[in-house]
Amino acid sequence: MTTIELVQGDITRESVDAIVNAANSSLLGGGGVDGAIHRRGGPAILEECRKLRASRYGKGLRTGQAVATTAGDLDARWVIHTVGPVFSATEDRSALLASCYRESLRVADELGARTVAFPAVSTGVYGWPMDDGARIAVETVRAADTAVEQVRFVLFDQQAYEVFADRLR
- Digit-coded pLDDT (tens) for 1-42: 899 999 999 999 999 999 999 999 999 888 899 999 999 999
Contact 20, 117 (CB under 8 A): yes
Q: Single out the catalytic residue among 10, 17, 34, 109.
A: 34
Q: What is the pTM of this model?
A: 0.96
**Active site annotation includes 34:** yes
pLDDT score at 153: 98
Name residue 6's beta-bridge partners.
Answer: 153
- Number of structural domains (the chain) is 1
User: DSSP of 23-90, one letter per residue?
Assistant: E-TT-S--SHHHHHHHHHH-HHHHHHHHHHHHHT-TT-PPTT-EEEEE-TTSSSSEEEEEEPPPP-SS
Give the CATH number of the domain where residue 105 resides. Answer: 3.40.220.10
pLDDT at 131 over 80: yes
pLDDT score at 53: 87
pLDDT at 49 over 90: yes
CB atoms within 10 A of CB 128: 24
pLDDT score at 127: 96
pLDDT tens profile 64-105: 999 999 999 999 999 999 999 999 999 999 999 999 999 999
- Whole domain around residue 145: which residue ranges? 3-168
